[in-house]
Amino acid sequence: MRIPTRAAREMEDRIIPMLRSCACFAQLKRVHARIVVSALSQSCYLATRIISVYSAGGRLDYAALVFHHVEEPNAFLYNEMIRTYAKKSHFVEAIGLYKQMVRQDHVFADGFTYPFVIKACAGLPVLDLGRQVHARVSRSGLGSNSIIQNSLIEMYTKCDDLIGAHCLFDEMAERDVISWNMLITAHARLGQMRKARALFDTMPKRSVVSWTALISGYTSIGCYSDAIEVFHKMQLEGLEPDDVSIVSVLPACAHLGALELGKWIHAFCNKHKLLEKTFVCNALMEMYAKCGSIDQAHQLFEDMRERDVISWSTMIGGLATHGRAPDAIKLFVEMEEKDKRVRPNCITFLGLLSACSHAGLVDEGLWYFESMKKVYGIDPDIEHYGCMVDLLGRAGCIRRAVELIDGMPFPPDASIWGSLLCACRIHGDVEMAVKATERLLELEPEDTGNYVMLSNIYAAAGRWDGVAKMRKLVRSRKMTKMPGCSSIEVNNAVREFMAGDETNPHFVELCQMLDLLASELMSSPTPRATTTSMAEQTSSVDLRQEEEVFIAEHSTQKGGLR
């Protein structure tokens, strides 16, 4: 190994300030050239500093060249290059360099090596190699290092080995908030919210990250009320939400229609300068659009300083959902013309095709569908085909929709056949409706709604034998309906109601209000457009009542006030 002389050390000390003061890549190369001319290119000390500066400037290629030019790199130089690879997500290179390092006789991995090697194992992820690194850590006597222990827990959780993570967690003499947060986040990410909540309730000290992990977990599994409840509790604990926790709770506001809470979050973001972050604005736009405040969403979109493809896609999709197809198409054209940095993706086209479907713009929808592949190189997903089937079906082009389904590069799912079935109901195509229902029953044999839909089609066509057949089929399979559900926001709290839920504390008051509304509707005069004979009226009423009884008994419609 080369031992630097006193003169060489003095030269190194003079060069280090030059490296730190480099303002551009050209200056850095000049200093590097001076190092080479001064015969100091083999100095591990200077090479480590050069690699650090090169990597900070984004020149990983030059950093690698400097490392490989050194004939006998020491542990500091290895650690710097492994750290650089790991931080830049070049995990394969980091692991390769670590393997090269452990094969050397004069270089040994230490407490600065393992955290970044473990990070690379977690990034790939490679569980077997991570376990081997864990074994080396234990043999080296670094097993009690808290930084390495937390890195190992993160590796096990990212490799979905929660048993290994818990074993290591239980062995730790001292656990910090990072250790707890990583386990809670892992359970929440996998939808194991009972375990995540148990850990959360047990941990001695919580941070905003702890609360955010719980909120995000509840949102991901559809427990939106629980997510909002945890968000409120976090505020009662005196912790201010950060941008991540806000983005985690906004989808819950959107799905439950908690507009007042969403507005409060918007005001909070405005006060704390969080609206400067594009992803926060995107989440707020989606919340407003799903809560029915499309104008507020559009105003937020107009006020954004920077927009990415998610911003444009969210706004286009929101306009499409609210039936403003011309505005959605106009916005897409504006994106193409004014924002050249942004290219539409599959989500953008999903909103665009949905807009065409709601407005019945068949030609425009077909043109955009074709341009996905030809102009933008985007292969349509099954959701895009679903939009096209819905578009063609609504327009009465049933046969054309069937041809599109037959030409799909993948098997159609239940949503495709469901869209076709709805179109058949609108246009009274009983023959095709039966075929679509047969496919649906193969994919969703227990969904009562499919039987109800076909029954409605039979009833509209006057085929009451078909209605009776559907009723008999449902009863023979002993199928049960899914109760309807509605929610409403009162005083910043979301209340949910299930049909027939007698355990609700306000059940009596709700029934009284429904009776009052029903009596008001019954007493309102209803003009009749046509006059029919008594016999025709009696026959029609009997048949209609039979259909309504069947539908009321087996309806699967969800929703209500949102």
| DSSP symbols for 214-244 | HHHHHHHTT-HHHHHHHHHHHHHTTPPP-HH
Q: How far apart are the first and last CA of the chain?
A: 73
Which tokens sit at 531?
A: 């006059």
In 536-549, which positions are buried (b, 16+ CB within 10 angstroms) versus exposed (e)?
Answer: eeeeeeeeeeebee
Is the distance from CB of 88 to CB of 51 less than 8 angstroms? no
Rounded CA-CA distance 270/266 in Å is: 6
Among 461, 426, 420, 423, residue whose Cα is nearest residue 438: 420
Among 316, 242, 317, residue whose Cα is nearest residue 280: 242
Rounded CA-CA distance 450/417 in Å is: 10
In 247-272, which positions are buried (b, 16+ CB within 10 angstroms) versus exposed (e)?
Answer: bbbbbbbbbbbbbbbbbebbeebeee
The count of other CB atoms within 10 Å of the CB of residue 244 is 16
Instruction: Name the phi and psi angles at 498, rounded to 5.
Output: -110, 140
pLDDT in tens, the chain (562 residues): 455 677 777 888 888 888 888 878 888 888 889 888 888 889 998 999 899 988 888 899 999 999 999 999 999 999 999 999 999 999 999 999 999 999 998 899 999 999 999 999 999 999 999 999 999 999 999 999 999 999 999 999 999 999 999 999 999 999 999 999 999 999 999 999 999 999 999 999 999 999 999 999 999 999 999 999 999 999 999 999 999 999 999 999 999 999 999 999 999 999 999 999 999 999 999 999 999 999 999 999 999 999 999 999 999 999 999 999 999 999 999 999 988 889 999 999 999 999 999 899 999 999 999 999 999 999 999 999 999 999 999 999 999 999 999 999 999 999 999 899 889 888 888 889 888 888 888 888 877 877 787 787 788 778 888 888 888 877 777 666 666 666 666 666 666 777 767 777 777 887 888 888 888 888 876 544 443 433 344 334 444 444 444 444 444 433 333 2
Instruction: Note if the pTM is more than 0.85.
Output: no
Rounded CA-CA distance 443/463 in Å is: 25
> Given the structure tokens 């990250």, which residue do they identify?
209
Rounded CA-CA distance 37/272 in Å is: 53
Computed over its alpha carbons, how large is the radius of gyration of the chain? 32
How long a stretch of residues is the chain? 562
Q: Estimate to the nearest angstrom the gap between the alpha carbon of 303 and the chain centroid.
A: 24
